[in-house]
């Protein structure tokens, strides 16, 4: 086996990051992007978690044709049947069933075996995970692994659920399992590492060297707490250090940066500039000596080429004179389709407005345009109708805002430390939601001062955390849109409650 299977769990474990919830449409967009990237397995969600999760997995299973679509299920009949239902229309569907460790090992093994057997009634492609395996007794792991393979699990996943392992130790666990379990040759060994100590990628790669042939990972390393192993780092390490790994992945690496941007844009989790592979500075050689070196002998300093991971995908795609067809075609290539002519027309009108303000329109602008419209359209009780900000040297900035709340117009004026602060205060004085602002960040979507600003705000209320996003060539308006988007989410009833994984 010289193939490494890439199992992406951005839509499931990634989504479990507080504030990273995605709608069904957003999941479908990301899934199509993952399929274009040729990810082997896309874990689309946890169907029993909520009706919304079920529908999202079903929608992904319907549209994805070239990757396996996977649904997560605890080792309980109802969970497994719900996952099986959600995956019915998949071209290739996998049920991933997991069990938490417990002080009574016999019962755990028995339940795990029953769960795998039940899942096999729905599909031949069954994966089993023993949660927190990274801290479990090796003898017990050998025993449960042998039993679930016998019951029909084709993939056995070893999660380091709390990110506690270190590479040598984790590699030892994988190597020992492969050596000691008598039927180990009948299954693929997989790893799923969390990044609490910053070791998720290192642990995953050590496990690969010890014989694991599937890695579970996420775009941008999104995931619970400190996240999961990052897909881009795993894929590019295996590719760049083929001499060490002697393995191939099926990934089209030129889709990595576009996928990273799409996930950051949809979830509102921006990528740090110095993040490997996908950070804005990942290929920027600042020091004079390096720049000189790069120009003379590119390969001396650049172990990878920026274009191989899709950095040059940032090309001008459309402009002021582009027609409706070109607009629709490019968005379809990006995985966005329109439910009706009316939807297309309104998106096209927004595109024309943007093209008036901004000369060159890039893929990232189109993504932001669609995300912004989706955000505005979904479940909104509050609409931003008008914003005027006055900001000048020596004067206190003042914002005047008009919101429609459940269809009724409200006006407010507020002063603030800056134009964004004044706008948020004016919005607060109308909505009085009592939320705390946890994060405010602005990113330019493309380069240049005419770029759209993409704003993320994170707010908390009563232990619930939500993100809001907004994009506009005017960053104060983008900020107000993002704030209103977050507050709209706060005003919604809580729909999702993920069953505890630990
Ligand atoms: O971290 C974990 O243990 C998980 C399992 C469900 C695989 O996410
Ligand atoms: Zn996990």
Ligand nearest to the CA of 159: 1
Query: What confidence tier does 30 reach under pLDDT thresholds 50, 70, 90?
Result: very high
- What per-residue confidence (pLDDT) applies to 461? 87
Residue nearest to atom 1 of ligand 1 (CA): 161
- What per-residue confidence (pLDDT) applies to 314? 47
Query: Above 50 in pLDDT, residue 279?
Result: yes
Residue 46 CB less than 6 A away from ligand 1:
no
Query: Above 70 in pLDDT, residue 377?
Result: no
Query: What confidence tier does 199 reach under pLDDT thresholds 50, 70, 90?
Result: very high
- What per-residue confidence (pLDDT) applies to 290? 58
How many Cβ atoms sit within 10 Å of the Cβ of residue 309? 24
**Span from the CA of 485 to the centroid of ligand 2 (angstroms):** 28
CA–CA gap between residue 27 and residue 8 (Å, rounded): 13
Q: What is the mean pLDDT of residues 69-78?
A: 98
In degrees, rounded to 5, the angle at the alpha carbon of residue 53 between the alpha carbons of residues 49 and 56 is 165
Query: Above 90 in pLDDT, residue 154?
Result: yes
CB 41 within 8 A of CB 7: yes
* DSSP assignments along 244-282, one per residue: HH--B----GGGHHHHHHHHHHHHT-PPPTT-TTTSTTT
- What per-residue confidence (pLDDT) applies to 42? 98
Matching fold, domains 5-267 and 380-491: no
**Span from the CA of 224 to the centroid of ligand 2 (angstroms):** 7
Q: What is the mean pLDDT of residues 183-200?
A: 98
CA–CA gap between residue 314 and residue 333 (Å, rounded): 15
Residue nearest to atom 8 of ligand 1 (CA): 13
Residue 192 CB less than 6 A away from ligand 1:
yes
Calculate what percentage of the chain has a pLDDT beyond 70: 91
Ligand nearest to the CA of 501: 1
Q: What is the mean pLDDT of residues 408-415?
A: 97
Q: Which of 284-293, 449-458, 486-495 has the highest mean pLDDT?
A: 449-458
- What per-residue confidence (pLDDT) applies to 291? 58
Atom of ligand 1 nearest to the CA of 16: 8
What's the CATH class of domain 380-491? alpha beta
Atom of ligand 1 nearest to the CA of 98: 6
CA–CA gap between residue 62 and residue 81 (Å, rounded): 18
Query: For the ranges 97-111, 303-317, 400-414, which has the lowest average pLDDT?
Result: 303-317
Residue 234, CB half-sphere, CA atoms under 13 Å: how many?
A: 37
Residue nearest to atom 6 of ligand 1 (CA): 98
Ligand nearest to the CA of 158: 1
Atom of ligand 1 nearest to the CA of 129: 7
Query: Above 60 in pLDDT, residue 495?
Result: no
The owner of tokens 């000369």 is 359
The residue ranking higher by pLDDT, 297 or 109, is 109
- What per-residue confidence (pLDDT) applies to 178? 98
Ligand nearest to the CA of 46: 1
CB 247 within 8 A of CB 3: yes
- Judge: domain 5-267, CATH 3.20.20.70: yes
Q: Which two tokens stand for residue 155?
A: 């993939």
- What per-residue confidence (pLDDT) applies to 502? 42
pTM: 0.81
Residue 162 CB less than 6 A away from ligand 1:
no
* DSSP assignments along 436-484, one per residue: EEEEEEEEESSSSTTSPEEEEEEEEETTEEEEEEEEESSHHHHHHHHHH
Residue 159 CB less than 6 A away from ligand 1:
yes
Q: Which of these, 335, 325, 319, lies nearest to 450 by C-alpha position?
A: 319
Residue nearest to atom 3 of ligand 1 (CA): 161
Residue 100 CB less than 6 A away from ligand 1:
no
Residue nearest to atom 2 of ligand 1 (CA): 161
Length of the chain: 502
Average pLDDT of every residue of the chain: 90
Domain boundaries, the chain: 5-267, 283-313, 324-375, 380-491
Residue nearest to atom 5 of ligand 1 (CA): 131
CB 97 within 8 A of CB 115: yes
Query: Above 80 in pLDDT, residue 445?
Result: no
């Amino acid at each position: 086996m010289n193939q490494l299977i890439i199992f992406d769990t951005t839509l499931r474990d990634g989504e479990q990051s507080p504030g990273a919830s995605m709608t069904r449409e957003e999941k479908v967009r990301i899934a199509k992007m993952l399929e274009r990237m040729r990810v082997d397995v896309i874990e689309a969600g946890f169907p029993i978690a909520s009706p919304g999760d079920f529908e999202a997995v079903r929608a992904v299973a319907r549209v994805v044709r070239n990757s396996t679509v996977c649904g997560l299920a605890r080792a309980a009949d109802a969970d497994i049947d719900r996952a099986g239902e959600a995956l019915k229309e998949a071209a290739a569907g996998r049920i991933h069933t997991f069990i938490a460790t417990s002080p009574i090992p016999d019962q755990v093994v028995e339940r795990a075996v029953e769960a795998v057997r039940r899942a096999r009634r729905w599909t031949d492609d069954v994966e089993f995970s023993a949660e927190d395996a990274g801290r479990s007794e090796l003898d017990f792991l050998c025993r449960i692994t042998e039993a679930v393979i016998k019951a029909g699990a084709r993939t056995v996943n070893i999660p380091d659920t709390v990110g506690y392992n270190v590479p040598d130790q984790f590699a030892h666990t994988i190597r020992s399992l492969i050596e000691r379990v008598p039927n180990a040759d009948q299954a693929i060994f997989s790893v799923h590492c969390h990044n609490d100590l910053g070791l998720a990628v290192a642990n995953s790669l050590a496990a690969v060297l010890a014989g694991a042939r599937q890695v579970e990972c996420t775009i941008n390393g999104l995931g619970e707490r400190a996240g999961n192993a990052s897909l881009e780092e795993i894929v590019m390490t295996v590719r760049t250090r083929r001499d060490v790994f002697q393995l191939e992945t099926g990934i089209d690496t030129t889709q990595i940066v576009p996928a990273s941007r799409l996930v950051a844009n949809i979830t509102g989790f921006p990528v740090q500039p110095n993040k490997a592979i996908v950070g804005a500075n990942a290929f920027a050689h600042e020091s004079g000596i390096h720049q000189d070196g790069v120009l003379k002998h590119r390969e001396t300093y650049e172990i990878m080429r920026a274009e191989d991971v899709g950095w040059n995908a940032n090309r001008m795609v459309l402009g002021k004179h582009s027609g409706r067809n070109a607009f629709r075609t490019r968005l379809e290539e990006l995985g966005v389709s329109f439910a009706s002519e009316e939807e297309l027309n309104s998106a096209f009108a927004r595109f024309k407005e943007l093209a008036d303000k901004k000369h060159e329109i890039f893929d990232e602008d189109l993504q932001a345009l669609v995300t912004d419209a989706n955000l505005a359209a979904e479940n909104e009780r509050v609409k931003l109708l008008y914003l005027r900000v006055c900001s000048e040297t020596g004067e206190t900035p003042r914002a005047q805002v008009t919101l429609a709340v459940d269809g009724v117009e409200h006006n407010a004026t507020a002063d603030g430390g800056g134009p964004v602060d004044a706008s948020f205060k004016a919005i607060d004085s109308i909505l009085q939601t009592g939320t705390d602002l946890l994060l405010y960040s602005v990113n330019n979507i493309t380069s240049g001062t005419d770029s759209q600003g993409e704003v993320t705000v994170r707010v908390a209320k009563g232990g619930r955390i939500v993100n809001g996003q907004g994009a506009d060539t005017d960053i104060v308006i983008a900020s107000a849109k993002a704030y209103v988007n977050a507050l709209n989410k706060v005003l919604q009833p809580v729909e999702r409650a993920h069953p505890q994984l630990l």
